Structure 1
């Protein structure tokens, strides 16, 4: 049991910290469990300050689980042999509590020396455990650095999008210069680059999904939904840059596919997506189709996609009110 627990912990740690394909099963289970506790305690309200602590709590919980797993695994191995460890001075057989203490300072590489292994086999196991503690606990702590960097990019992307407009309609109106949407398309390359990087970060560091910002302008879910809605409105306007539109569609589709595979499996939307108000766009003469045709596309052709967007919002404690906050 000790060997099994130790190996499972090491495998999960390696999968999470050294792989670019997501976290291990133990890490994912702990992350989801901690998030659910915070989400329930906050009343599923994205504006709750309590959710801001969910991400750090997830990281600390995962680190503790790894330490406990390695420590417990080595302790169980030592416990399997009554004479595995003795007191260095008296050579007295150690108690289970003393073996637990020995396992702890071995993994932490403190090298206290008041207890010692009795045979060559236990000395080798002690050495391997010490190297494992040095390598894996150090790796788990350094894992925090790229995670926090990815969280910073997430907030930057959210602020970038929300700074272009508070609603999808406002984003388009702000970008219209009287002739085309060049003000928007000039920023599409940067948007796509940040969005694709954010998507790849989700593959490498899934725990960033649980870093929540209770300020709407810095929250990633409303920002992505706002951008997606703006993109689909833009499809029904004049003067489109087809290349930039294709880039944006690919970036958004890839992100939503990642969310659906990782965090929105079997997710059910508990509300319906609103039909966007097209009055301002129609007044400016930006639509190439009638408002009835555009609304029908959003209500029917985009129904499944918008249900996914609704689930994305709800899973993070938000609603469509944060996307169409200005009556859009």
Structure 2
């Protein structure tokens, strides 16, 4: 039974570190546990009718995920040190530690502090104490480094969102901004940089997935909303150009960058209900400019999911400035 408990404790610790390192260092998104926890928390926040809670979303996700990692690590470590009486003893008398004292010892081992009043009582316990105290240090330092990287990714996300918002406050203003340029000189000259920034933010989904849960209640700083508006406008103005033209190819490159951003997102295309007829109604807006929007179902479904779980929807995408 003692060996089984040690194995179970070590299994919990191993699972915790696999999830932790997959999330913070792998560059391949959340671990299974972290993904589930953050998706559940995101859905709870989105159900709140007031967007004022959004300003606490990112820090809530970070703190809760970190707390759960530490809790699992603590539970696993405590299970190991509670496997048998002699695992932890009083440093002076050699008497086996009580339950509260083992709890106390576990906390000090993981924090790498230690005061010497309680010590490991067996060779197995000594080896495990050395390993676990070192692993606690790794979790703390790696977690702090990851936090700084997430904050940097959030700032880059807002920077791109603000850049797009300077082109116009709604789809109509963005459309007019580009239609005033007969050959799209401004857009074409900056297409490479814009696409690069979009792809750079897309990579943040994988490297720092936590950054996606820093939600915004403002249009100007909501990247997915701004990308949806830009996507709709570019899909329309691209219709003015032949496929072999430089303009068409540059516009397509930007659209491909947006698609890649969506593909690397945290939400699957089917995560939210997609109302195709409702979207067609919103896109009928372009008919007043003489355009008919050609739907791409896969992209539309992905946008619907991404918008919903960032606190937005297609109505907000097509909402004009004077309606706000």
The answer to whether structure 1 residue 316 and structure 2 residue 282 are counterparts is no
Match of 1:62 among 62, 65, 81: 65
The answer to whether structure 1 residue 7 and structure 2 residue 14 are counterparts is yes
**Match runs of 1:211-222 below 5 Å:** 211-222=214-225
The answer to whether structure 1 residue 278 and structure 2 residue 286 are counterparts is yes
**Kindly tell me: are residues 220 and 127 of structure 1, through their superposed partners in 2, closer, same or farther at Cα, counting changes over 3 Å?**
same
Would you say how many aligned residue pairs link Structure 1 and Structure 2? 308
Residue of structure 2 equivalent to 1:128: 131
CA shift for structure 1 position 270: 5.3
RMSD of Structure 2 on Structure 1 (CA): 2.1
Question: Given that residues 45 and 54 in structure 2 are in contact (C-alpha distance below 8 angstroms), is that contact kept between their aligned partners in structure 1?
Answer: yes
Question: Given that residues 5 and 69 in structure 1 are in contact (C-alpha distance below 8 angstroms), is that contact kept between their aligned partners in structure 2?
Answer: yes
Question: Given that residues 168 and 323 in structure 1 are in contact (C-alpha distance below 8 angstroms), is that contact kept between their aligned partners in structure 2?
Answer: yes
Residue of structure 2 equivalent to 1:285: none
Residue of structure 2 equivalent to 1:306: 300
CA shift for structure 1 position 178: 5.2
Aligned equivalents of 2:215 and 2:319: distance in 1? 20
* Per-residue CA distance 1:51-86 (angstroms, 9 max, x = gap): 221111110111111111111111101111111111
The answer to whether structure 1 residue 171 and structure 2 residue 174 are counterparts is yes
Aligned equivalents of 1:37 and 1:242: distance in 2? 42
Residue of structure 2 equivalent to 1:156: 159
Aligned equivalents of 2:267 and 2:52: distance in 1? 22
Aligned equivalents of 2:259 and 2:151: distance in 1? 25
Aligned equivalents of 2:181 and 2:14: distance in 1? 64
Aligned equivalents of 1:11 and 1:313: distance in 2? 30
Query: Structure 1, unaligned stretches of length 5 or more?
Result: 283-290
Please state whether the residue corresponding to 1:110 is helix, strand or coil.
coil
Match of 2:23 among 1, 16, 23: 16
Aligned equivalents of 2:178 and 2:269: distance in 1? 35
The answer to whether structure 1 residue 248 and structure 2 residue 254 are counterparts is yes
- Please give the TM-score of this superposition, normalised by the length of structure 1: 0.87
Residue of structure 1 equivalent to 2:189: 186
The answer to whether structure 1 residue 102 and structure 2 residue 110 are counterparts is no
Question: Given that residues 55 and 216 in structure 2 are in contact (C-alpha distance below 8 angstroms), is that contact kept between their aligned partners in structure 1?
Answer: yes
Query: Structure 2, unaligned stretches of length 5 or more?
Result: 1-7
**Kindly tell me: are residues 178 and 58 of structure 1, through their superposed partners in 2, closer, same or farther at Cα, counting changes over 3 Å?**
closer
Bigger helix fraction: 2
